[in-house]
Amino acid sequence: MIRRHLLATSGALLAAPALIAAASAQPAPAPAAPAQAPGFYRFRVGSFIATTVWDGFAPRQNPGTGWIVNADRAAVEGALRDAMLSTARLDNPFIVTFLETPAGLTMFDSGTGGQLAPTAGRMRENLAAAGIDPARVTRILVSHFHGDHITGLTTAENAAVFPNAQVFVPEVEWAFWADSSNSGRVPEFQRGTFANTARRFGPYQGKIERFAAGAEILPGVRAVAAYGHTPGHTVFHVADGTDQLFVTADTSSRPEVFLRNPGWASIFDIDGAAATASRIAIFGRIAAERARMTAYHFPFPANGFIQTMGDGFRFVPADWTNAI
């Protein structure tokens, strides 16, 4: 019995190479297209829960030229190289902050709505992955009216994406962009912002609230003027108990460039001197208070802390953890 069994086994083994040869003649199934992990991240601010959500990015070619208005190419490319970033192409991320409080779900700026760059517009699928239904957003707090911050308010057909939301806008920002007679005060490439303002806020008519600098917009959330990037650019300060979060919007674009060099201004800053003064004041306050912050154009998940370093600042990403 034993001998027959051995023979049968070795017979099977002898046959195996032929089977393998036959199998390898068939093309192996192609691997599934690689997909990235869902882009959302959660953390607590006191009893509130903040979520940052990835909308995507837009690449900028040759960032050493035509971007920073008061530094030369060698300096800008040096800053990029110091941060292990390419001098040929810099990706500008778009990251939206959400905040759950007893007053409801608040969203800070809107993402691109998939209408600005083919590599952006992922917010909707990432919201689904995060279990956030756009219909649950009750308040949208807008930092400023550049297209990457307001275009996602509406679809390509200009229907409201957040049908149950009230929209809160800085009154200074509103006054500027709602009046097209100001168009001579901005560079030509930014003049589309006037029409885009009318278009994107149109479907929310009757649900728009203008707030003043310093206003408490909902319990625990206050507007802080950070003018310069645009005339009414605003940061939001969140506090619950001793915990704080600053939603810093465009106080700085990529930190590797503007925190190391807080005096640099970009072509997107409508008043470069005011923008850099606001940046130094806001990040100085965040550093001094050891407060947490999020930003719209920082590396995902775009939350962490600010330290002073040399003549500028550095961004210290918060620890990633599964414990919320």
Where on the chain is the footprint of Zn ion (CB under 5 A)? 148, 250
**And the tokens for 315?**
């961004």
Total residue length of the chain: 324
**How many helices (H) and strands (E) are present in the chain, helices listed first?**
8, 14
Q: How far is the CB of 35 from Zn ion (least distance, A)?
A: 27
Considering only CA atoms, which of 137, 151, 138, 135 is closest in space to residue 56? 151
Q: Is the dihedral of CA 117, 119, 120, 121 positive or negative?
A: positive
Q: Is the dihedral of CA 187, 300, 95, 233 positive or negative?
A: negative
Q: How far is the CB of 253 from Zn ion (least distance, A)?
A: 7
Q: How far is the CB of 245 from Zn ion (least distance, A)?
A: 19
Q: How far is the CB of 117 from Zn ion (least distance, A)?
A: 12
100/279 with CB nearer Zn ion: 279
Q: Please compute Rg for the chain using Cα positions.
A: 25
Considering only CA atoms, which of 158, 152, 156, 167 is closest in space to residue 204? 167
Q: Is 29 exposed, middle or buried (0-12, 13-18, 19+ CB in 10 A)?
A: exposed
Q: How far is the CB of 111 from Zn ion (least distance, A)?
A: 11
101/229 with CB nearer Zn ion: 229
106/110 with CB nearer Zn ion: 110
173/250 with CB nearer Zn ion: 250
250/269 with CB nearer Zn ion: 250
43/57 with CB nearer Zn ion: 57
Peptide bond into 34 cis (omega under 30): no
Q: How far is the CB of 164 from Zn ion (least distance, A)?
A: 25
